[in-house]
């Protein structure tokens, strides 16, 4: 059996299942008795299709699509677990799966941020006068002579500074995510803009001889912070891609299907943005030296992306006991 035959024979019932999931509004009882029974039939068939696709077509897009569809339908079909356990599962596994399940969009977001950064930084070191006209005025102080990196903030000042930072970072991440509704172009433009600004500031700091101080003041929190920006922006691109390439679904259905997972990506990223803000508020101003802040920054970045690779690729949970109302529903043959 080829991939085209496999998908062609089953695509209609996958679409029907997706329509039922969308119509349920996360409450299966809205579908009525017949709709609930049909939901059970289609879910169990899709779960069987997913198992087959994983064996025969590993790495193909159809596996990711089916995995996402089955994941959205499962809570409607099976008994809900305790909320506390669901939250724990999301924190330890669910969030990381969401981050990892669209690697192409993660890569696109990273490139849209990092390439303008690197290119602008190189340009700024060669033409600082022109670069200074691009960088907002509040960042031009990077060219002024510095005596160390200890900012001399009190505990109260650090706390206020930290709160302001992570609040702003969360706001920027949400804005980048929401901009994805403009077929992804809004998110892409924001990433490029941020890359240009970051690159201009980096290049001006290096040109003025403040490169070491600049990296001491940014590395401890910056790697984790930028990782969060990339993930939040990838969630925005996920919305945009659903509108650009909905497949055989209507664009509204595709957008609704991708909105939930995209929101989960953003919500799961917030605690890490808070952590980055706390480090920027309390650790960065302490003047610990380049070696220490580099170790902290690389350690946090390695922890985050290590969890993406490890927990994001965790094996699926065992299938729980099916809801009594659906246990007698037969599964159609493939």
pLDDT, one tens digit per residue, over 114-138 is 999 999 999 999 999 998 888 888 7
Domain hosting residue 260, numbered range: 103-311
Q: What is the pLDDT of residues 94-120, one digit of tens each?
A: 899 999 988 999 999 999 999 999 999
Cβ neighbour number for residue 253 with a 10 Å cutoff: 18
DSSP letter for 25, please: T
- At residue 154 the predicted structure's pLDDT band, cuts being 50, 70 and 90, is low
For the chain, what is the domain count? 2
Q: Do residues 293 and 172 share a domain?
A: yes
Rounded Cα distance, 23 and 125, in Å: 56
Q: Do residues 145 and 68 share a domain?
A: no
Q: Let me know if residue 88 belongs to a domain.
A: no
Backbone phi, then psi, for 257, in 5-degree steps? -70, -35
Q: What is the pLDDT of residues 24-73, one digit of tens each?
A: 877 777 888 888 888 889 999 999 999 898 888 887 888 888 888 988 88
Q: Do residues 152 and 237 share a domain?
A: yes
Which pLDDT belongs to residue 145? Answer: 73
Q: Let me know if residue 276 belongs to a domain.
A: yes
Q: Let me know if residue 260 belongs to a domain.
A: yes
Whether 280 shows a pLDDT value over 60: the answer reads yes
Q: Long-range contacts: 296-300, Cβ < 8 Å, 24+?
A: 296/219, 296/220, 297/219, 297/220, 297/221, 297/222, 297/223, 297/224, 298/223, 300/221, 300/223, 300/224, 300/275, 300/276
Q: Do residues 132 and 57 share a domain?
A: no
Whether 84 shows a pLDDT value over 60: the answer reads no
Q: What is the pLDDT of residues 8-28, one digit of tens each?
A: 888 899 999 999 888 887 777
Helix (H, G, I), strand (E, B) or coil at 147: coil
- At residue 323 the predicted structure's pLDDT band, cuts being 50, 70 and 90, is very low
Which pLDDT belongs to residue 151? Answer: 47
Cα angle: 155, vertex 157, 160; to 5 degrees: 110
What is the token pair recorded at 39?
Answer: 């939901």
Whether 326 shows a pLDDT value over 60: the answer reads no
Q: Do residues 54 and 167 share a domain?
A: no
Q: Let me know if residue 183 belongs to a domain.
A: yes
Rounded Cα distance, 15 and 2, in Å: 20
Burial readout 71-103 (b: 16 or more C-beta within 10 A, e: otherwise) = bbbbebbbeeeeeeeeeeebeebbbbbbbbbbe
Q: Do residues 38 and 187 share a domain?
A: no
Kindly state the percentage of the chain with pLDDT values over 90.
36
Q: Let me know if residue 94 belongs to a domain.
A: no
Q: Do residues 21 and 162 share a domain?
A: no
Compare 10 and 314 and report the one with higher pLDDT.
Answer: 10
Q: Do residues 168 and 47 share a domain?
A: no
Q: Do residues 135 and 59 share a domain?
A: no
Which pLDDT belongs to residue 60? Answer: 85
Q: Do residues 57 and 120 share a domain?
A: no
Rounded Cα distance, 5 and 183, in Å: 31
Q: Let me know if residue 331 belongs to a domain.
A: no
Q: Do residues 45 and 121 share a domain?
A: no
Which pLDDT belongs to residue 314? Answer: 63
Assign 3-state DSSP to the chain and report helix, strand, coil percentages, each to 5: 80, 0, 20
Q: Let me know if residue 34 belongs to a domain.
A: yes
Q: What is the pLDDT of residues 233-260, one digit of tens each?
A: 999 999 999 999 888 778 888 888 888 8
Is the pTM of the predicted complex or chain greater than 0.85? no
Q: Do residues 8 and 124 share a domain?
A: no
Q: Let me know if residue 84 belongs to a domain.
A: no
């Amino acid at each position: 059996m080829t991939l085209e035959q496999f998908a062609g024979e089953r695509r209609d019932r996958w679409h029907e299942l997706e329509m039922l999931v969308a119509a349920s509004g996360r409450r299966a009882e809205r579908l009525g008795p017949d709709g609930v029974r049909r939901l059970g039939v289609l879910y169990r068939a899709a779960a069987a299709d997913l198992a087959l696709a994983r064996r025969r077509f590993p790495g193909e897009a159809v596996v990711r699509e089916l995995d996402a569809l089955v994941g959205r339908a499962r809570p409607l079909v099976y008994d809900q677990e305790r909320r506390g356990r669901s939250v724990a599962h999301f924190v330890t596994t669910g969030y990381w799966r969401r981050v990892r399940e669209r690697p192409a969009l993660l890569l696109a977001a990273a490139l849209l941020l990092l390439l303008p950064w690197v290119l602008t930084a190189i340009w700024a070191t060669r033409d600082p006068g022109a670069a200074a006209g691009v960088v907002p005025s509040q960042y031009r102080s990077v060219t002024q002579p510095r005596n160390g990196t200890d900012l001399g903030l009190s505990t109260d000042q650090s706390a206020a500074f930290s709160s302001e930072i992570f609040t702003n970072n969360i706001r920027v991440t949400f804005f980048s995510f929401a901009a994805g509704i403009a077929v992804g172009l809004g998110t892409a433009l924001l990433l490029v803009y941020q890359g240009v600004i970051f690159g201009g500031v980096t290049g001006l700091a290096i040109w003025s001889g403040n490169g070491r101080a600049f990296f001491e003041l940014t590395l401890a929190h910056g790697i984790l912070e930028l990782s969060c920006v990339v993930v939040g922006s990838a969630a925005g691109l996920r919305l945009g891609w659903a509108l650009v390439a909905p497949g055989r679904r209507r664009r509204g259905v595709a957008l609704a299907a991708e909105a939930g997972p995209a929101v989960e990506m953003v919500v799961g990223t917030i605690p890490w943005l808070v952590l980055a803000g706390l480090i920027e508020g309390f650790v960065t101003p302490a003047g610990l030296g380049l070696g220490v802040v580099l170790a902290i920054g690389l350690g946090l970045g390695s922890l985050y992306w290590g969890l993406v690779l490890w927990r994001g690729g965790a094996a699926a949970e065992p299938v729980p006991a099916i809801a009594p109302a659906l246990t007698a529903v037969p599964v159609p043959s493939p």
